[in-house]
Amino acid sequence: MNAPAPMLRLTTQRQVILEELSKVKTHPTASEIYDMVRKRLPRIGLGTVYRNLELMAENGMILKLEVGGTQKRFDATTDNHYHIRCARCGKVDDLEIPVFNTLTEEASTASSYQILGHHIEFTGICPECQKIQEDEYEE
Amino acid sequence: MNAPAPMLRLTTQRQVILEELSKVKTHPTASEIYDMVRKRLPRIGLGTVYRNLELMAENGMILKLEVGGTQKRFDATTDNHYHIRCARCGKVDDLEIPVFNTLTEEASTASSYQILGHHIEFTGICPECQKIQEDEYEE
DNA sequence: TATTAATAAGGAATCATTATCAGTATAATA
DNA sequence: TATTATACTGATAATGATTCCTTATTAATA
Ligand SMILES: [Mn+2]
Ligand SMILES: [Mn+2]
Ligand SMILES: [Zn+2]
Ligand SMILES: [Zn+2]
């Protein structure tokens, strides 16, 4: 059996991390969140940011996105939705298309895994990077 | 303008890496591939494995999977298909359901990104881990 | 209030990956 | 074939993201 989950306290640090993450739609990395939070809590440690993001993700308060790139990203919007990542600059945006709940059922019949969920990651070039590419082509 | 892409030589190392990767369906990590290849080329360096996996992925010879977990995984099957990852042991398997080509079109209309493609990652519990969980429950 | 448990901060440690570099192999060319 | 240019290897160092560890605080509870 597993140890009982410790009860989560709503510390100042935890609260500010959640507030700052909720303010943005950019799916920031841990160190980006660290920079945001540090403006309000200059003494906070990077480890604290990591620990709390991890804990909050485990408790379903936020999403931990394991998308492409070297760093994990975080999302305060917890309802299931899809993402698109720019292949050039790495930016991650939400993609506003309906979630395919049927996919999970279809996967259940096709696999011996017990399906828990799914995530779709689109890849593309963001508008800004499209412009840059056009400029490069002219040279 | 960008420098011309250097021509790829088919070195022994590159060939053996590709052959060993093609043998398995497990989506191995770089260090797992290193272990496989070392049985045939004991002097190969880990850096060589990383370098060649990267180069072959850039040239479309293999896929570099940016799925959840701490390590990248590689796949010699380059046609578009979906994956499922065990939330407990991290194993990655193919999921045999048809690819939704319509998704890319739908994403194009919903987003200002220039869509390049998409990948679906299902999450679940693999058969082996299901058994382990049952055993744990009995205790 | 005394005790216990959760948490913070800071720093060290770990792990995956990438960069550097000197020497080697291969391909192109004279 | 000899020469030259270029891609490549293997060893090692460096980097970067994340986790771990230790001590001090803080909050909850008896
Ligand atoms: Mn999102
Ligand atoms: Mn596959
Ligand atoms: Zn971009
Ligand atoms: Zn498993």
Mean pLDDT of chain A: 93
Shortest distance between the Cα of B51 and any Cα of chain A, in A, equals 17
pLDDT at A134 over 90: no
Q: Are residues A2 and A64 in the same domain?
A: yes
So what's the pLDDT on residue B2?
65
Chain A and chain B share a number of CB contacts under 8 A equal to 110
Q: Are residues A87 and A71 in the same domain?
A: no
Q: Are residues B56 and B88 in the same domain?
A: no
What is the distance between the alpha carbons of residues B73 and B38, in angstroms, rounded to a whole number? 18
Cα angle A55, A56, A59 (rounded to 5 degrees) comes to 90
pLDDT at A6 over 90: no
CA of B89 to the centre of ligand 4 (A): 4
Which residue type is seen at A132? Answer: I
Does residue B38 reach within 7 angstroms of strand D, measured from its CB? no
The tens digit of pLDDT for each residue in B120-132 reads 999 999 999 999 9
What is the per-residue DSSP string for A19-61?
A: HHHHH-SS--BHHHHHHHHHTT-TT--HHHHHHHHHHHHHTTS
Mean pLDDT of chain B: 94
CA of A8 to C1' of D29 (A): 16
CA of A8 to C1' of C3 (A): 20
Q: Are residues B48 and B109 in the same domain?
A: no
Q: What is the CATH number of the domain that holds A59?
A: 1.10.10.10
Q: Which of residues 41-60 of B touch strand C (CB under 7 A)?
A: 46-47, 50, 54
Q: Are residues A65 and A125 in the same domain?
A: no
Q: Are residues A4 and A64 in the same domain?
A: yes
Nearest-nucleotide field for B17 (CA, C1'): D9
Number of domains in chain A: 2
Q: Are residues B39 and B50 in the same domain?
A: yes
pLDDT at A114 over 70: yes
Q: Do B97 and A106 touch (CB under 8 A)?
A: yes
What is the per-residue DSSP string for B85-115?
A: EETTT--EEEE-S---HHHHHHHHHH-SSEE
Q: Are residues B12 and B42 in the same domain?
A: yes
CA of B15 to C1' of D19 (A): 36
pTM score > 0.95 for this model?
no
So what's the pLDDT on residue B126?
96
Q: Tokens at residue B69, please?
A: 């977990």
Mean pLDDT of A78-87: 95
Kindly indicate the confidence band of residue B139, based on its pLDDT and cuts at 50, 70 and 90: low
Pairing label, strands A114-125, A82-86: parallel
Q: Are residues B25 and B64 in the same domain?
A: yes
Q: Do A115 and B139 touch (CB under 8 A)?
A: no
How far is residue B42 from each of residues A11, A131, B14, B19, measured CA to CA in Å? 53, 48, 14, 16
pLDDT at A2 over 60: no
The tens digit of pLDDT for each residue in B13-43 reads 999 999 999 999 999 999 999 999 999 999 9
DSSP state of B42: T
Which of A107, A60, A79 has its CA nearest to residue B123? Answer: A107
Strand C bases contacted by the protein (CB, 7 Å):
5-12, 15-20, 26-28
So what's the pLDDT on residue A139?
56
Q: What is the CATH number of the domain that holds B104?
A: 3.30.1490.190
* Full domain range(s) for residue B53: 1-77
Q: Are residues B1 and B27 in the same domain?
A: yes
The tens digit of pLDDT for each residue in A9-65 reads 999 999 999 999 999 999 999 999 999 999 999 999 999 999 999 999 999 999 999
